[in-house]
């Protein structure tokens, strides 16, 4: 019963946010295109034969970066910026007195954006295979499903991390500047610029204890067929979600007590 | 007996405010060592509101009216004291409490800007667990009451301010709340839109017996909707009672312009003992206390040859303006 109600709320939120996102289809196409950083990195890696040092073939590397592009497309999160703007403009106030946590709105907004983004990402992948026909492969269904789950878990981790940072808006108006601190480790340690396997062994052992490699590196390796510890990766993703969710709830509860409803 | 739906006891609210001296020196000092002080914006206030009442909160800018409303609806946490609204502690934001209330802030919107209002209505309906059939029924009823129809299907960004405000109201009332918190709902609306909104609120109150707490700088909103007002001055209540009593207290006399048949009659009237404000030829303006209007007019009509007379009420804005700058009104 409760799940039905929540599902209905989420479904309606998704429907409405999807309609809203379709109003911005050009922007979404541009955002999708702006996410092609893994392809630049692929170019740098292959032109400098850097992959030889980590024993990954050119084909596997190009698949990795294509998958990194896909994972990034479906796990990109900007909730801290939305919440900060809404908070400063006083838009959070009406949401706070509705029987639904405002973060569900942002969650639905992100999911709707991902659905809108999907065809554009497919078109970019299509062109990628036109220029790199040797990289074309079809992952088996089991791996594909696990990769979708893992990408979704990666999205959840990023959404929770950013939501925690967003809640700092209750104490400081500019929580997005704190998010900037997370941007650098996310960029370097997530696998967006280089597969984590390319890091020195002693650094790697530390990196795997953070949530960053589970954001892009793990799902991208999984989908591209590179060697990876599937169960270990999925367990770590779930563990991070279990760790971050109560932290979010706690900081949300403390933050709303500090809320001053400024701008409204 | 009508029940109290809102019960506020010794409520206070303080905010931490940081201050900065002007100039470069002040900026550098502010960067290294912020000075914050606690500012008490609501000071130990108590009041009750009965079910179905429409209460106006009056006060100058920064007096604390909106802060009170925000605490009543659970948006902000009180520093001291207690609040019970419909049996709930607002700040706990229990689902049943939230389903019972709504907050409407003039010029602040919850509608999705790029979509027609109808999409936001259905979204709100699902947030408040209304099924599609019930939502449709309520949208129809409220849109008839608010006299909006085609606007429901036009993107919000293309609606006029008045149309948008009506849509905001519909979105905020779709769950049929028992308690409405309205913070300057007519802000920026033209005269007709203001009147329509007031008419709608009266009708809503009559049909649903909803309790309405309202702040407004437009006195017409207060006089046409509220029998009771709570005046807030620097965070404290300076008056809580009937609006007409307050008006009588604040303006105990009325000005009466009397047009006499001849100037001689006007001179005679001038010398008859009434307080005269001015006299121009055969027109004379006198001041009469509210409680002796009937007897005084009877005397004037019986003893003088009068062509016409006009009773002037003092402008309500001017009268209420006095409340906003004074600390106490004992009636």
For residue A94, give both structure tokens: 């009406």
pLDDT value of position A41: 80
Q: B206 pLDDT exceeds 70? A: yes
pLDDT per residue over A19-45, tens digit each? Answer: 888 877 777 777 777 777 887 887 787
> Who wins on pLDDT, B318 or B237?
B237
The reply to whether residue A5 touches residue B129, judged by beta carbons under 8 angstroms, is: yes
ipTM confidence: 0.80
Lowest mean pLDDT among A147-151, A245-249, B13-17, B89-93: B13-17
Over chain A (264 residues), the average pLDDT of each successive run of 10 is 65 85 78 78 77 78 91 92 88 90 91 89 90 87 95 97 93 83 89 88 90 95 91 96 97 91 65
Q: B149 pLDDT exceeds 60? A: yes
State the burial class of residue B195 (Cβ atoms within 10 Å of its Cβ: 0-12, 13-18, 19+). Answer: middle
A12 vs B: CB within 8 A: yes
The reply to whether residue A97 touches residue B123, judged by beta carbons under 8 angstroms, is: no
pLDDT per residue over B300-325, tens digit each? Answer: 888 888 888 888 776 667 777 777 77
pLDDT value of position A219: 96
Closest CA–CA distance from residue A4 to any residue of chain B (Å)? 10
A13 vs B: CB within 8 A: yes
State the burial class of residue B185 (Cβ atoms within 10 Å of its Cβ: 0-12, 13-18, 19+). Answer: buried
Sheet holding B80-85, edge to edge: B35-50, B4-19, B80-85
In this structure, what DSSP letter does residue A175 have? T
Residue B216 makes CB contacts below 8 A (sequence gap 6+) with: B56, B182, B184, B185, B186, B187, B222
Max distance between CA atoms of chain A, in angstroms, equals 58
The reply to whether residue B110 touches residue A5, judged by beta carbons under 8 angstroms, is: no
pLDDT value of position A1: 53
Q: B294 pLDDT exceeds 60? A: yes
Closest CA–CA distance from residue A96 to any residue of chain B (Å)? 7
A145 vs B: CB within 8 A: no
């Amino acid at each position: 019963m409760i799940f039905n109600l929540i599902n209905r709320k989420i479904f309606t939120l998704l429907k409405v946010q999807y309609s809203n996102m379709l109003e911005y289809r050009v922007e979404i196409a541009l955002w999708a295109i702006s996410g092609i950083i893994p392809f630049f990195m692929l170019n740098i890696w292959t032109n400098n034969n850097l992959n030889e040092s980590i024993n990954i073939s050119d084909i596997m590397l190009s698949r990795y970066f294509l998958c990194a592009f896909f994972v990034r497309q479906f796990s990109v999160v900007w909730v801290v910026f939305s919440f900060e703007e809404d908070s400063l403009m006083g838009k959070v106030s009406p949401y706070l007195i509705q029987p639904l946590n405002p973060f569900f709105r942002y969650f639905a907004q992100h999911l709707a954006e991902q659905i809108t983004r999907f065809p554009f990402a497919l078109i970019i992948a299509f062109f990628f295979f036109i220029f790199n026909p040797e990289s074309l492969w079809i992952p088996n269904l089991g791996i594909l499903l696990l990769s979708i789950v893992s990408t979704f878990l990666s999205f959840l981790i990023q959404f929770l991390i950013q939501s925690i940072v967003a809640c700092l808006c209750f104490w400081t108006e500019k929580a997005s500047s704190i998010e900037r601190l997370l941007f650098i480790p996310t960029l370097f340690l997530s696998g967006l610029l280089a597969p984590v396997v390319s890091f020195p062994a002693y650094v790697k052992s530390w990196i795997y204890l953070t949530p960053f490699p589970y954001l892009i590196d793990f799902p991208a390796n999984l989908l591209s067929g590179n060697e990876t510890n599937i169960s270990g990766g999925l367990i770590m993703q779930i563990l991070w979600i279990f760790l971050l969710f109560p932290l979010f709830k706690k900081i949300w509860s403390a933050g709303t007590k500090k809320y001053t409803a400024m701008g409204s | 007996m009508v029940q109290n739906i809102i019960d506020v006891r010794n409520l206070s609210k303080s905010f931490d405010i940081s201050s900065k001296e002007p100039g470069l020196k002040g900026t550098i000092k502010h960067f290294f060592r912020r000075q914050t002080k606690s500012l008490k914006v609501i000071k130990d206030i108590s009041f009750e509101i009965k079910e179905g009442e429409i209460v106006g909160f009056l006060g100058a800018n920064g007096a604390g009216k909106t802060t009170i409303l925000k605490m009543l609806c659970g948006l902000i946490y009180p520093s001291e004291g207690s609040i019970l609204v419909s049996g709930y502690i607002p700040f706990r934001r229990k689902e049943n409490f939230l389903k019972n209330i709504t907050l409407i802030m003039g010029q602040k919107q919850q509608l999705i800007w790029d979509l027609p209002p109808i999409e936001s209505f259905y979204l709100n309906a699902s947030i408040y667990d209304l099924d599609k059939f019930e939502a449709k029924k309520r949208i129809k009823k409220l849109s008839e009451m608010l006299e909006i129809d085609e606007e429901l299907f036009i993107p919000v960004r293309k609606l006029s301010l008045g149309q948008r405000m009506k849509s905001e109201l519909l979105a905020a009332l779709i769950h049929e709340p028992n308690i409405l918190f309205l913070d300057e709902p007519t802000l920026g609306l033209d005269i007709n839109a203001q009147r329509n909104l007031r008419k709608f609120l009266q009708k809503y109150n009559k049909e649903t017996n909803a309790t309405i707490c309202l702040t407004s700088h437009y006195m017409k909103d207060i006089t046409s909707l509220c029998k009771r007002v709570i005046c807030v001055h620097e965070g404290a209540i300076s008056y809580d009672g009937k609006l007409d009593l307050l008006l009588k207290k604040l303006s105990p006399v009325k000005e009466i312009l009397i047009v006499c048949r001849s100037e001689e009659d006007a001179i005679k009237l001038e010398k008859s003992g009434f307080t005269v404000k001015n006299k121009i030829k055969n027109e004379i303006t006198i001041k009469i206390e509210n409680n002796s209007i009937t007897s005084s007019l009877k005397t004037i009509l019986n003893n003088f040859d009068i062509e016409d007379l006009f009773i002037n009420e003092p402008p309500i804005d001017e009268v209420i303006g006095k409340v906003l700058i004074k600390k106490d009104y004992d009636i």
